[in-house]
Structure 1
Amino acid sequence: MSYFSFLSTNACWLGAGFLLTAFSCFGQTFFISMSMGDLRQELGLSHGDMGLIYMAATLGSAAVLPWVGRSVDAYPLHRVALVVMLCLIALCASMASVHSVPMLALVIFGLRLSGQGMMSHISFTAMGRWYSAQRGRAVSIASLGFPAAEASMPLAFVTFTGIYGWRAGWWAAAAMMLFFALPVIVTLLSRPRIPTAAEAASQEIRQRDWTRKEVLRDPVFWAIAAGILAPPCFGTAVMFNQVYLVELRGWSREMFASTFAVMAFMAVVASLILGPLIDRISARRLLPFTLLPLGLASLVLGLVHAPVAAFLFMGLLGISNGFTSTFAGALWPEIYGTRHIGAIRALAFALMVFASAAGPGLIGFLIDAGIPFDLQLIGISAYCAVLSLVLTVAARALARRGLKDLEAA
């Protein structure tokens, strides 16, 4: 089935997944970080202070996510989405009213949990549960919401806030959620997709369904996590410190904001290529290549200071983001089944949020300690190279496990 046929047949459900990931942007670092410079000035915080606040709030959201995330296994997705989006609307309005450090920490906690955490979690859980043979395509299309938001929101936010101020930008975000995202997404999710009998039979033959306790005891899970959590950790760290990067390089904010379109375009290309590839050869075989785009992106940004480096870095980061979001969305149900996918994905998402929290805190600390940013970027590249070897070993272990499952069947 071609992409166009697949889209036309499944437009309702794929549209819901796309919009959920797109509007998760209000809890994503790239969007929140655009207000960090103003907040630091108004609250009198250093880079390290802001990084620690962001890290603490994000770690708190990650600790709660495995428990909240299980709700998608117990309740209809459209009801969970309704509650989550109402919370996100209230939090966007609260961000527009922040005047103290404790309130800032509480609002970031909520934005990260409801936006980055639950909105994305609902989307990818739905795609993983509703599709099997074409899961790669479904996840790739849903994940296009990320680059769509990355391409449109930064420049729109910078332009809007340049006229009306950053607080007005967050009021606008709350209005978009209330009057567009919430009614449309709830309507699209209200009719869940039922997998065909052939899809269900195929899924049952291929694998067993793991529980979350079994996954926690699986060493392969932790090996994979150590690798695929690098992009949210280090990609988030660089995005969070984008104001510092722009000032360090002597670039303009408008120029850097324009690079998000490059990142978004490359993320779309990567997702659309990877989706059918996953359906054809499986996600587990692609494990060893997951970190290559991020490693190269970090190396380019660390060694090249000309403005072209911003576009090269963001293009490679877009490939990494497209690869990671599509890959992670398809991998967990592929290797652990779909019956408990909500609980398993909540665990994986919590780890991802932990990683995205650790990155800004670590980089902020190193900046305050006087560690050259270029050296940090080169270190990220070296980490990616080492973890690529770990993922190669994990892929081979999964291949052996797959053969044993076939023999047992």
Structure 2
Amino acid sequence: MNLDFSEEDEAFRQDVRAWLVANVPKTPRPHSGPAMRAFDLDWQRTQYEGGWAGVSWPVQYGGRGLSAIRQLLFYEEYAKAGGPDSALCFVGLNHAAPTIILHGTEEQKTYHLPKILKGDVAWCQGFSEPNAGSDLASLKTRARIEGDQLIVNGSKIWTSNAMLADYQELLVRTDSDAPRHKGISWVICDMKTPGITLRPINIMTGPGEQHFCQVFYDDVRIPLSNVVGNLNEGWKIAMSTLGFERGTASIKEQIRYAHVVERLIIMARERGGNVPLHVTEIGSRLATLRAEMAAVRAMTYTIVSRSDEVPPGSESSLMRAMFSGLQQRIRKVSMDILGADSLEMEAHEEWVHAYLRSFSNTIAAGTAQIQRNIIGERVLGLPR
């Protein structure tokens, strides 16, 4: 694997840097609600109009058709420039779109991909259920076929930002007699379809902040043409989606966290008085975190170097298992540097909010235990 960048790559980096410095929003990003939706979609639209959305997407669907290395360079400069999280666009850009590009029909690609890239729509994920989270194959939400439609009944839970989404990537059981991993279909669901009811769930990051929803489906009619891939082959499609989520989708976040560690080092030095940082317990932990982020960077480069030829597979769980726990350790150090009083100080709200949200990192995209099972069984070939 060659980690050197060409002169053309470096020229591309300079162009990215100049545009981001001039265009990254200066106002704080709202954490929830319609204001967050407006912010995230406006910023996505700004990137599209500037020619920086979908750097590695196919040209025919609005992207620039460049290599995954160029996309990586964009992410590196995005982190340096302090680009916002844009979480509402995450599922559309990093789950739905790559899955549709890989498995969708030409009609699905032509209709949905430009809308995602331009910031016209937001997507959510309808995978987990009240009794089918880590054991996703036990999902019970069913869809029977009537003519050219699916009739969906059941419920999903932990559906991030469902109340703000226009579309959903939905897993339903379309053959109840098939084995657990068979008879499942991956479906595009319009969230405005009659029969969908949303129950928002409050989270601990702030009063009234709602991130998750439980979603109920009562005879929801979805066109059969919205099935991505073949009917009853949704498990294979879903594994592609989760491969993207656990692998390439988190690259921007991985790069951003390297900069978070550097900010914490500066913060610790400023708050440490005359005591050299390298002799303190906090300094030792920060040195370890910096080394771990270097390992993440190496793993990120490995994934990117292969992604143009090989879509992310089970190996992506290596990245997910390592990085999710690392995020939590980084956020814990931030609180130890700031002190317990920071939980009540408005000036530290950014750090506190990120710390509280980090508790979900080892659950989202498959729990840490599930990731280790995947690594053991599918990567290392160990017995179940």
Looking at both structures, which has the greater relative contact order when contacts are Cα pairs under 8 Å and sequence separation is at least 6? 1
User: Which structure shows the bigger proportion of residues in helix conformation?
Assistant: 1
Q: Would you say same fold, with TM above 0.5? A: no
TM-score by length of 2: 0.34
Between structure 1 and structure 2, the one with the greater Rg is: 2
User: Which structure shows the bigger proportion of residues in strand conformation?
Assistant: 2
